Structures are given as C-alpha cells and as structure tokens.
C-alpha cells in the first residue's frame, strides 16, 4: 500500500459514520483524497437520524491533516442521492471515487418478514446505490475517470438464514456492478464490488461475540483502496 495515493482525487463514501465506511473514509483521506463523509445517522434498522456520526469522522480526518466534509442525506431517495454528489461537486469540484457502503438490517424469518422490512432494505441497498451512482456517473464521465465500489455480501452470494431481504439486495448489487462495468469502461469508469467480513455494528447481530470483534474493517479497506486506485487498470 506504500505507493497507492489519492492526491487530487475526490471520494464519496456512503454510510461512512462507522464500521467499514469510516475505515474507507479515513484511509482514503490519509492517502490524500478529499472525502465526503455521508451518513444519515440512523440505527441499524434504518430508523432515526443524527449528524453526529458523520461529523465525528470528518473531525477525525481534519485532525489528522486531511480534507473532508459531512453529508447527512439518506441514499434511499433520488433527491438524497443527488444531494450527496452535489456536496462533493460544490465543495471539491468533482467526484472521482464512489463507495456505495450505506446499508441497514431488518432480519426476520421469511414467515415473519413484512413487506415494509423487505422494501426498506431494498430501498437503502439497491435503490440507494442506484441513486448515488446515477448522480455521480455524469460527473465521472465528463472527467473521463471514475472508480465505483459496490458492497455486496456473503449473505447474497451464499445465503443466510433470516436475511432474505438483505440477501436479495446484496445479490442485486452484483448485477448492477457487472452492467456498470460495461457502461463505464470506455470512459475509464471502473466498477467493482467487495463481499467483506468485518467486525461492525451490523455484523454484531449475526456473528458470534467472540468472532465479531476480530475482523478489523481496515483489513477490508486496504483491498478496497487498491481497487479504487489508478494502479488498477481493469
């Protein structure tokens, strides 16, 4: 990682108030990127809102000498997705990197799952990734450069009991990634996805306590950073 830098690049990280998103934002900023730290500040099930999570990460970045601004919009609306990218353009003039990391959980057995539980998870993960990417893509195309990262999951790739909504959403992101890779290739816009395993407040509900604290999000972020770098050429 010693030679991977992001000087002059502008990155947007959704759901960056904690866990993987925070790790992504901190590492990119430490390597020279200007970062938009987006987080609605909701609970794990997507309810509530607070500016404190995003603000704290921005302060961490600035205290370390980096550049960052906060954004508190929800990704699950068209307006919110576009407002996130507008924050990047207004403050830093462009967007080069987008990490679609925002997510929620509403785990229930299939028999007990209600329509609202399914719809909200799909709205945040799938529609959210679409909304923010749709806003970022024209900016990247104009600059003939972009790096987009989707966050999928082993729950989608291999299934997980009690997570039919989450599993469905995460697998949908793989299809979105594959098609965006085709759409962006001639504009040097590359799209990838990662199925991370890390100890976060979301995995705390599905991983054994003795295991949940062990996988450090930074280990995932190192892989993500390389995939988002100029060194990645395919």
pLDDT at 208: 57
Report d(CA 82, CA 54) in Å as an integer: 18
Report d(CA 41, CA 54) in Å as an integer: 7
pLDDT at 223: 87
- Residue pair 121/165 in contact (Cβ under 8 Å)? The answer is yes
CA 183, chain centre distance (Å): 20
Supply 211's token pair. 């295991």
* Residue among 222, 103, 83, 70 nearest 173 (CA): 103
β partners of residue 159? none
CA-CA distances (angstroms) from residue 16 to 23, 64, 76, 112, 209? 8, 17, 15, 31, 23
Cite the beta strand spans of the chain per DSSP E: 10-13, 34-38, 67-71, 97-100, 146-151, 189-194
- pLDDT per position as a tens digit, 44-67: 999 999 999 999 999 999 999 999
Instruction: Please identify every stretch of the chain with a pLDDT value under 50, giving residue numbers as ranges.
Output: 1
How is the beta sheet containing 34-38 ordered, strand by strand?
67-71, 34-38, 10-13, 97-100, 146-151, 189-194
CA-CA distances (angstroms) from residue 43 to 17, 67, 180, 195? 11, 27, 30, 22
166 is known as an active-site residue? yes
Report d(CA 168, CA 196) in Å as an integer: 16
Catalytic residue among 72, 145, 158, 166: 166
β partners of residue 12? 36, 98
- pLDDT per position as a tens digit, 154-177: 888 888 889 999 999 999 999 999
């Amino acid at each position: 990682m010693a030679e991977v830098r992001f000087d002059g690049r502008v990155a947007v990280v959704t759901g960056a108030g904690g866990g993987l998103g925070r790790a992504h934002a901190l590492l990119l900023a430490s390597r020279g990127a200007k970062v938009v730290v987006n987080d609605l500040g909701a609970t794990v099930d997507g309810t509530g809102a607070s500016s404190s999570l995003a603000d704290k990460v921005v302060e961490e970045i600035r205290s370390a000498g980096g550049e960052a601004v906060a954004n508190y919009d929800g990704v699950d609306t068209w307006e919110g997705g576009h407002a996130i990218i507008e924050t990047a353009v207004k403050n830093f003039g462009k967007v080069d990197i987008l990490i679609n990391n925002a997510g929620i959980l509403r785990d229930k057995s299939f028999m007990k799952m209600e329509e609202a539980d399914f719809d909200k998870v799909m709205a945040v993960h799938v529609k959210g990734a679409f909304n923010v990417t749709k806003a970022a893509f024209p900016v990247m195309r104009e600059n003939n450069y972009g790096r987009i990262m989707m966050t999928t999951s082993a729950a989608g790739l291999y299934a997980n009991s009690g997570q039919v909504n989450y599993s469905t959403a995460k697998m949908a992101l793989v299809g979105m990634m594959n098609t965006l890779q085709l759409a962006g290739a001639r504009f040097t816009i590359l799209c990838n996805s990662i199925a991370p395993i890390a100890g976060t407040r979301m995995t705390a509900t599905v991983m054994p306590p003795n295991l949940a604290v062990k996988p450090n999000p930074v280990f995932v972020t190192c892989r993500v950073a390389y995939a988002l770098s100029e060194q990645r050429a395919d």
